[in-house]
A = this chain, B = another copy of it.
Amino acid sequence: MKIAVLPGDGIGTEIVAEAVKVLQALDLKFELETALVGGAAYEAHGHPLPDSTLKLAQQADAVLFGAVGDWKYDKLDRPLRPEQAILGLRKHLGLFANFRPAICYPELVGASTLKPEVISGLDILIIRELTGDIYFGQPRGRRTAVDGHFPGADEAFDTMRYSKPEVERIAHVAFQAARKRNKKVTSVDKANVLETFQFWKDVVTEVHAQYPDVELEHMYVDNAAMQLVRAPKKFDVVVTGNMFGDILSDEASMLTGSIGMLPSASLNAKNQGLYEPSHGSAPDIAGKGVANPLATILSAAMMLRFSLNQPEAAERIETAVKAVLAQGLRTPDIHSDGTTKVGTADMGAAVVKAL
């Protein structure tokens, strides 16, 4: 089992180090190979996703990814910015299915800005299509407008698109995930305005015929953004496109108040996957040893389950994480009165001990 370890920038190196310790504490044989990505790779090789890093990722069974980005790269040309590494990995590895659980841990209910009764017990799964939509659609660029409100003016444009097989495969992923959960899928679209999402809705409805045991509901994206705030527990599996999924999955993770706890997985058709915390590189706290490694550790658990076929090991990690929370250990992002504040390394060590 070969794992490409790509720590990236900011807190990435610190949190990935702890996840690696946890993996190494399991009685499993992994080949772990580390490479630079993001800003760190740009500094060393002049590109956020060097060929060597991409090749390593392609040859591995799974990628354990930290985070990329720092304000200091904001002025670079877009193709050289750290986040292009993520987009490149998604594209070249064909990671079309992004799993973003939004779970509210009982011990952390108080960390949410929402009232406890609204979020306690929250357990929803956002499935975001990750290689299509307006993220990659061509043509895109700048030009002189030939029609519209101001013909002759400078304009910029992008193309949103989805093909039938792209929607079909992500719909299958969502229905199959719902089967293992509460058997409800909410497909989020904007069919009242967009051709792309009328098509999306039609195709999801068609695929649904193969899953009569799963309930399908359609919801407009604006309404979904509202219902996540109003009654998030009404959702089970949410499936949507790349752009809407970007927005809604971040909104959903913030509802829990503890984004430092939330893992994510991005899979391709061969179950190769990229695993990363839902949060970013947090350059403001990088190097201080205070970042929460649990989202990355839980991402490693997802990796064991989805790409490495080690469900027992995945569960061991998840149980260990619950145990350290029960022990009252908290990094600063989830700390509250009556709990014990610990740093990144101590939290990692506690998980290893609890294994």
Q: Chain A interface (Cβ within 8 Å of chain B)?
A: 78, 81, 83, 87, 94, 113-115, 118, 131-132, 134-138, 140-142, 145, 147-150, 153-166, 190, 192-196, 198-200, 221-223, 225-231, 243-244, 246-251, 253-255, 259
Contacts and interface: CB of A to CB of B under 8 A. Distances in A.
A158 B148 CA distance: 14
Contact of A115 (B81, B94, B114, B149): B114
A246 to B, nearest CB: 5
A67 B196 CA distance: 25
Count of identical protomers in the assembly: 2
Contacts of A228: 251
A165 to B, nearest CB: 5
Contacts of A165: 149-150, 153
A81 B253 contact: no
Given A156-B195, A229-B251, 17 more contacts: A94-B149, A113-B229, A132-B149, A134-B160, A136-B148, A145-B163, A148-B161, A148-B163, A150-B166, A153-B165, A155-B162, A155-B163, A155-B199, A157-B160, A158-B160, A159-B160, A222-B247
A78 B222 contact: no
Nearest to A229: B254
A155 B140 CA distance: 17
A163 B156 CA distance: 6
Contacts of A161: 145, 148, 155-158
A159 B228 CA distance: 28
A134 B162 CA distance: 15
Contacts of A164: 150, 153-155
Contact of A194 (B134, B190, B221, B244): B134
A247 B229 contact: no
Contact of A198 (B78, B153, B163): B78
Contacts of A138: 147-148
Given A114-B113, A230-B113, A255-B229, A159 B156 contact: no
Given A149-B163, A254-B230, A225 B198 contact: no
25 contacts: A113-B118, A114-B114, A115-B115, A134-B134, A134-B193, A142-B199, A145-B163, A149-B163, A153-B164, A154-B163, A154-B199, A156-B196, A156-B198, A156-B199, A156-B200, A157-B195, A158-B195, A159-B160, A190-B243, A225-B225, A225-B251, A226-B254, A229-B254, A229-B255, A244-B247
B226 A250 contact: yes
Contacts of A142: 195, 199
Contacts of A114: 113-115, 229
Given A222-B250, A229-B113, A255-B229, A192 B81 contact: yes
A225 B162 CA distance: 24
Given A150-B163, A150-B165, A162-B156, A195 B250 contact: no
A155 B248 CA distance: 24
Contacts of A243: 190
A166 B148 CA distance: 10
Nearest to A202: B156
A250 B230 contact: no
Chain B CB within 10 Å — which of A83, A94, A244, A246 has the most?
A246
